[in-house]
A and B are shown apart, each in its own frame.
Chain A
Amino acid sequence: MNDNGRGTTESTRLWLAALRGLARGFTYPDAGWVATLLDGQWPEALAAVLEPLGLSAEGVRQAIETLPEELEMALQALQVEYTYLFINAVPHVPAPPYASAYTGQGLLMGEPAEAALVAYRQAGLALAEDYRDLPDHVAAELEFLAWLGEQALAAQESGDEEQAGWYLAQQKAFLSQQMRPWLPAFCRRVKEVARLPFYRELACLAESLLSVDLDQTFSEESKL
C-alpha cells in the first residue's frame, strides 16, 4: 500500500471493505443484518469485493444457503451458534473471540486487551459508549484495522502523505503485533468447533484476509 496507483488504491479499498464485512460477521447477528444474508445482498457485496482480490466468497454463500429460509429461524440459528461459540456455552465457550484468551494466561482483559486499548487511544479513538465488550474482541480489532486503512486513504486523497504514512504504520503494527499472534489460533478453533458452516467460512476468510503482506499485495498490478 505504498503506491498511489489507482488500481492499488482500489484493491486497498476492497480489502478494507472486506474487513468491515468480516467485523460485522463476527458481531452478534441481528434481524436487519441476517435479512441481508438471506436476500443475497451481503454475500453479493462480499463476492464483489473479494473476487477482484483473487479470493472467493463461494464458501460463505453456500453456508448461507444452509440456513433456514425464514428470517426468524435463520436469526435464531445464527444467534444460538454465536452465543455458543463466543459468549457462553455448554460445556464452555469453545472459541472466545478475545486476543487475551490466546496469548495471555487464560484470563480475559489481559495485556493484549490493554495493548488494543492503547492503540485505539493513540489513534484518537475511544470505545463507543454503547459498545459493551472488551477492547480485544475480534470485531473491534477488525474494525480498527479497517478504520486505520480508511484514514490513510483519506489522508492520501487530501495530499497529506505524512498523516497517511502514520496511519499505515499504525495499521501494519496493529496487524503484525496485535492481531497475527492470536487470529490464526482463533480461526482454527472456530473451524474445529463451529456447528454451522457460516462461522467456519468466516474464519477461513479471516485467515486469508489477514495473511496478506501489506507491503507486497497492494503494490502489485491491480487484478481489476
Chain B
Amino acid sequence: MDESPALLTRRQFLKLTGAAGAAALLGGGLTVFAPAPTYAAPEEDGILYGVCDVCTMGCAFIAHLRNGRIVRLSGNPKDQIAQGKMCVKGYSGIRLLYDPDRLKYPMKRTNPEKGIGVDPGWVKITWDEALDLTASKLKEVRDAYGPQAIVVVGRPSAWNKHFARSIGTPNHVAHINTCYSTHEVIWRAMVTGKGKPWTADYEEAKYILAFGWDGMGKSKNHWGRAVNIARANGAKLVVFDPRLSITAAKADEWIPIKPGTDLAVLLAMIRTIINEDLYDHEFVANYTSGFDQLKAAVQEYTPEWAAGISEVPAETIVRIAREFATTKPAVVAHHKRDAGGPNYTNSWRTAQCFVILDALVGSIDRPGGHILGRKPHLPAFNEVFQFPDYPESCHGPRIDGLEQFPILLSLNKGSFSTLAEGILSQTPYPVKAMVVTKHNLLAFPNPPRLVEALKTLDFIAVSDILPSEMVQLADVVLPDNTFYESSGLVAREYHAMYPQVALREALPALYDTRSFSNIALNILKRMGLTDYVPEGMSGKAFMEAQLAALETTVEAIRGNGGLWGEERPFEPKTEFGTPSKKIELYSTVLEQNGYDPLPRWEEPRARVSDQYPLHLLIWRKPWERMSQSQNDPILAEFCPENYATMNPALARKVGVGEGDYVWVESPVNKIKVRVHLTEGIRPDCVAVDHGFGHWSPGLSVAYGKGANDGDLVPNLTVAQQLEIGCPAMATAWEDVAVKVYKA
C-alpha cells in the first residue's frame, strides 16, 4: 500500500484516539436522543381538545393523535358553534401545522437591504440572541425618540395590548377598519356600550335579509348550517348584492343592487315599515328610544327616491320591507366586509340602519335575531396580574390618528388605512421600530405604499407562522406557534345562546417556536420593564386564574368533552349598554361625539367616470382564509389563481373572453388577472377575489399566483379620514372605481 505521510498521520491519529475517539470528535458531542425512562411502547392513540383559529368563528374540535401527530380533526359535538362539524378551512388547518415553509427557528437578516424581491439572507439564531437583539433595538429607539416611536401591529389580544402599553407606546395597531369597525362603532353607540354581537340565531329566523353578507360563501361552519336549517323550516332568504354570491345563489331572492347604495334601500324600508305601522310596537315602546325623531328623519326617503339611486324597483323595496316586518322573527344578517362593514365610506350609516331594522321588528336579543354576548366572566389581565399603571404616554396621539375618532378609540383597536402615511409623513412624530405579530402586509390597503413606509424604519421584528411578505421585511424573525401548539380557554362567541367555554390543549410546539405571549414577556424583561412582568406572569398562570373563576379544572373540562358550561334557558335582555339603557334609535353617543345621531343618505366615495367606469367588488372563496390557508397545496388546487369576474356583456365591450388576461386599474395601482365570465354579476362591476398575489417567495405554494385586490385600494391620510367623516375610519375597501382592459 502506498503510504503517504498524510495517511501515516491518520493512522497515528487512529492509534492515539481509536475509532471511538474519532467518532467523538467527528460527532462533536451531538445528542439528539435521551434514554427513554423505560422501554416505551408506541404511544396509544390519543385526543386533544382544541379551538380552530383559521377563522374567528372558533369551532371547538377534537384532534385525533397517533404517535403525537395529528392525523384527523373532527368538530366537537358539544360545542354550540361546531356542533360536531368543521368547514373546509378548518379541516385543512393540519396542513398549516405541518407546512414545510413554516418558520422554525428565530432568525435575523444578514442582508441590510430590504424590499420586494430582496433576499434577506436569513441566518438562524438562538432565542436569547433574538430576544436580546429585539429588546436592545427597542430600547435604543425608546431612549432616543420616546416610546411612541415603537409601533406594535397585531390582534387586540390581552397580551398584545399589555406588551404595547408596558412599553408606553399608544401605537398598538390592529386591522378592524378593513374588516368590521363600522359594525363595532354602531353597536357600541346604539346598543351594547361594547362591541358588536357575534351570535345570530339564524336557525330560528323566518326571514333573513342580507346586504352583501356572504356568510355561507365564507363557509362559516355554523351559519351555513343554521341558514340551511332555517330555510328547510320555511324561512325566506333575500340577498342584496351586486354579485351572485354563494349566499345569494342559495337565496329565495337575489337583488343585484348598485354597489354602495344599500343605505338608500334601507332608509326607504325603514320609512315604509314606520309609515305603514308595521313595526313591533311593544318592543319599540319598551326597549328603544328616539323613535319619533327617527320617523321624522326618514320621511324624505321614499321608495321611488331609493329606486333612482339603487336601481332596485320601488315596489321591490316596499314588498321586501313589508315581508321583513310581518314575518317573525326576521333578522338582518351581517358580519364583516359587507355593505355595513367598512367596505364603503357610508357603511357606518348602513350599519346604523341594520340595527334600526332589527329594532323595529324586535330582533335584538330575541330568538331568531342578533343575540348579545353571553360570555361567562373570565378575569381580565389586570385582575389576574398586579402591575403598575401604564405610562401616561400610552394615551398620547397616535401614528394612525385613531385618537381623533373617539368611539373607535374606545374600542382600542387601531387603523390600517392610515398607518403608511403616518409613518412616511412622520405625523404626528417619527416612528422608528415595529413589532408585528401575525398581521401581513397584504391585509393593508395599497401594500406597495406600506412597503415604502416600512423601509424607512430602523428595526422590524416579526412574529409569524409562515414566511409572509411582512417577514421578508423583518430584521428579526420570531417564529410563532400555531393554535394547535398553544393552550387556553376560549369563550363561545359566534354562537353563544348560553355561556360556554372551550378548552384548548397544546400539542408540544414543533421546532423552536414560541407563543407571542412568551415572546412579549421576555422582550419586556430584557427592556428592563420588569414591573410589568411580575413574578409568575405567564400564559399558564392566566389560564389557571380563569379556570379558578369558572370553578373548574382542565381535567373536569376534559371529562365534560372539552367544554365548560351547561345549556340553560334563554333569558332575553331588557336593558342595554347605552346611556338610556335602551336601544338608541336616536344615538346620543354618536351625537356627543359629533356625528349624526340619526341615519341620513350619504353618497359612497367612488364615483364612476369615463376614466374609471366600473365598480370594484371584492370577495373571498369558501376555502380561502388569508394567511391561514393561502399556502395550502390542496386548497390551492381548487383554484390556483384569482380572477376578474365579469358579466359577458362587459367582456364584449372590453374585447376579452374567458381566461384572457386583463389589467384592472384603479387610481392607485393596477393588477393583472385572468377573466372569468358569469351572468351572476352586474355589468357595471368587476369582482376580484382576495387572497392572492403573494410576492413572498417564502410561500412556495402561494408565491406568484394571481394578484392582490388590496393593491387597487387607496390608503388614506388621517385628514382624508376626517373629511370622509366616518366614525369608524372605514377603509372603504370596495368603494373604488376601476377600469378594465386587455393585458
Chain A positions within 8 Å of B, measured between CB atoms, are 10, 13-14, 16-18, 20-21, 23-24, 27-28, 32-33, 36, 41-42, 44-49, 51-52, 76, 79-80, 82-84, 87-93, 96, 98, 100-101, 106-110, 113-114, 117-118, 120-122, 124-129, 131-134, 137, 139-140, 143-144, 146-147, 150
Contacts and interface: CB of A to CB of B under 8 A. Distances in A.
Interface stretch (B35-43, B387-395, B679-687): B35-43
Contacts of A46: 26
A80 B123 contact: yes
Interface string B561-591: 0000000000000000000000000000000
A134 B30 CA distance: 15
Nearest to B513: A132
18 contacts: A10-B19, A20-B24, A20-B30, A23-B30, A27-B30, A36-B25, A45-B26, A47-B6, A51-B7, A83-B107, A108-B102, A120-B33, A121-B40, A126-B36, A128-B32, A131-B32, A139-B32, A146-B27
A139 B33 CA distance: 11
Contacts of A133: 104, 511
- 8 closest cross-chain pairs (CB), A and B: A21-B26, A91-B697, A20-B27, A13-B19, A17-B23, A48-B10, A92-B700, A107-B98
A117 B33 contact: no
B100 A96 contact: yes
Interface in B13-53: 13-14, 17-20, 22-28, 30-37, 39-43
A76 B123 contact: yes
Contact of B23 (A82, A108, A132, A146): A146
Nearest to B10: A48
A137 B699 CA distance: 21
A195 B266 CA distance: 63
Nearest to A43: B26
Nearest to A100: B98
A82 B121 CA distance: 11
A152 to B, nearest CB: 14
Given A20-B26, A122-B42, 10 more contacts: A36-B28, A83-B122, A88-B105, A89-B122, A90-B119, A109-B69, A124-B39, A126-B36, A134-B511, A150-B23
Contact of A17 (B9, B26, B36, B41): B26
Nearest to A139: B32
Nearest to B38: A124
A76 B110 contact: yes
B156 interface: no
B25 A107 contact: no
Task: Pick from A100, A109, A124 the residue with the most CB of B within 10 Å.
Answer: A109
A50 to B, nearest CB: 9
B35 A91 contact: no
B66 A20 contact: no
Interface-centre pick from A33, A84, A108 (highest chain B CB count, 10 A): A108
Nearest to B7: A51
A114 B122 contact: no
Contact of B124 (A42, A44, A87, A150): A87
A45 B103 CA distance: 35
Contact of A83 (B7, B23, B123): B123
B290 interface: no
B25 A42 contact: yes
Contacts of B121: 80
B34 A127 contact: yes
A51 B20 contact: no
A38 to B, nearest CB: 14
Nearest to A126: B36
Nearest to B9: A44
Contacts of B77: none
A106 B631 CA distance: 12
Contacts of A92: 100-101, 467, 697-700, 703
Contacts of A108: 98-100, 102, 510
B34 A126 contact: yes
A87 B33 CA distance: 21
B633 interface: yes
Contacts of B26: 17-18, 20-21, 24, 42, 45-46, 49
Contact of B66 (A16, A49, A114, A140): A114
